[in-house]
Amino acid sequence: MGRNQIRHLQYALPVLIVAVAATLGMLFLLDGDERLIGLGVIVASSLIALILQHVLIRKSEAEQARKDADIQRFKSEAEDARQVRMAFAKAASHDMLEPLRKVEAFGERLEDKYADRLEDSGRLYVNRMRDAAERMRGLIEQLLSFARLDDHAPLLKRQGLGNLVETAKSGLKAQIKSADAKITVESGPELITDERLVSLILVQLMANALKFRSPERLLHIEIHHERVECEGGIREKITVSDNGIGFDPRYNERIFGVLDRLHSRSEFEGTGMGLAVARKAAERLGGTLTAEGEPGKGARFTLILPVQQ
């Protein structure tokens, strides 16, 4: 039987059922036999049940069709968003960064070759130009890192937290040495996770602690890992705490905003992207990243990840 025939049968079935029920009902009533009348009631009830079942099936099929259409639309929108990210990444990696590299290079040459001919104000302008180009390059690189997080599926491997921290520290050696910072690690069980993404999160959190350290004491960063029961199951919990300047608890969520800053650039350098990148990486791993702060005492970031088998 073809699809159109089945569809026509579905539409005709309720009409046929009603017609049969009406005919049987009239025959039974005209006969006057109570047993036949009772049988007619049973038949009519059964037919009504069939009608209701048919209606529910039709409704379920319509709902499923809507869900399928929604899923297809979401997939299409996700693919469109991915194409936009890829286009941005391509533009950022070449079309936007290349002019900045030239500005930095020409500024350096200008300062090297013509420093003796420039007045103090001229040298100041050259330095400002180079600093602005460097800040813009850092911002573009952070945006590029943010955009590329969805491009690849996480590569899960067995990792020790100590090794992940060492990988993260290798990119911050100069800052750690300059701040004379102390970093302590308490490792729990080994994790099965993506080394690149977790190291990226740790880099951003440690860089944040280094940036917002207190001038009144040496910076101490504590990194702790344990396996805990939360969110209805067993999870990996990694906390990164510091004794820096902290922040107002009202901004627990705002600090994760893209290009959002709590402080002016004159107070603290930065792009306003680091914590946004860290949270996006956590979400890419199927986890969450939250923050708690207390002004003058420090901040604590909590990374919750699923336990992988």
Contact 232, 307 (CB under 8 A): no
Query: 101 and 64, same structural domain?
Result: no
Provide the whole-model pTM: 0.61
CA pseudo-torsion sign 207, 212, 215, 220: negative
How high is the pLDDT of residue 24?
Answer: 54
The rounded mean pLDDT for the chain is 76
Q: Of 99, 114, 148, at which residue does a domain stop?
A: 148
Which among 90, 63, 60, 308 is positioned nearest to 198, based on CA atoms? 308
Helix axes 195-211, 274-284, angle to 10 degrees: 150
Residues 51, 57, 61, 64: what is their CA dihedral angle, to the nearest 10 degrees? 140
- Give the span between the Cα atoms of 307 and 234, in whole angstroms: 7
Calculate the alpha carbon distances from 243 to 51, 70, 131, 176 in Å.
70, 48, 29, 15
pLDDT band at 247, cuts 50/70/90?
A: confident
CB neighbour class for 205 (10 Å; exposed up to 12, middle 13-18, buried from 19) = buried
- Cβ(304)–Cβ(235) under 8 Å? yes
pLDDT tens profile 75-97: 777 667 667 766 766 666 666 77
The verdict on 97 and 71 lying in the same domain is: no
Residue at which a domain ends, from 42, 75, 108: 75
Residue 81 lies in a domain: no
Q: Which of 32, 33, 150 is nearest to 89 (CA)?
A: 150
Find the mean pLDDT for residues 12-29.
Answer: 54
Given 43, 75, 107, the domain boundary residue is 75
Do 19 and 124 belong together in one domain?
no
- Token pair 């600093």 is at which residue? 131
Q: What is the pLDDT of residues 131-171, one digit of tens each?
A: 777 777 777 776 777 666 776 777 888 888 888 888 888 88
Residue 51: Cβ within 10 Å count: 15
Q: Kindly state the average pLDDT of the residues 51-57.
A: 73
Q: Which residues pair with 241 in a beta bridge?
A: 222, 300
- Answer yes or no: is 253 within a domain: yes
Query: What confidence score (pLDDT) does residue 195 get?
Result: 87
With contact defined as beta carbons under 8 Å apart, do 55 and 39 qualify?
Answer: no
For residue 213 the two structure tokens come to 């350290």
pLDDT surpassing 90 at residue 115: no
Q: Are residues 139 and 265 in the same domain?
A: no
Residues 207 and 110 in one domain: no
User: Are residues 298 and 183 part of one domain?
Assistant: yes
Residue 80 covered by a domain: no
pLDDT given for residue 31 in this prediction:
53
pLDDT, residue 159, reads 85
167 and 290 in a single domain? The answer is yes
Let me know whether 285 and 192 are in one domain. Answer: yes
Please report the pLDDT score of residue 240 as a whole number: 93
Q: Do 201 and 219 belong together in one domain?
A: yes
Range of the domain at 99: 88-148
What is the reported pLDDT for 6? 47
CB distance 146 to 276 below 8 Å: yes
Tokens representing 53? 């079942």
For the chain, how many structural domains are there in total?
Answer: 3
Separation of alpha carbons 63 and 207, rounded Å: 49
Position with higher pLDDT, 38 vs 99:
99
In angstroms, the CA 308 to CA 285 distance is: 10
CB 165 within 8 A of CB 201: no
If we measure between CA atoms, which residue out of 270, 276, 268, 262 comes closest to residue 144?
A: 276
**Do 93 and 15 have their domain in common?**
no
Distance (Å, whole) CA 222 – CA 81 = 38
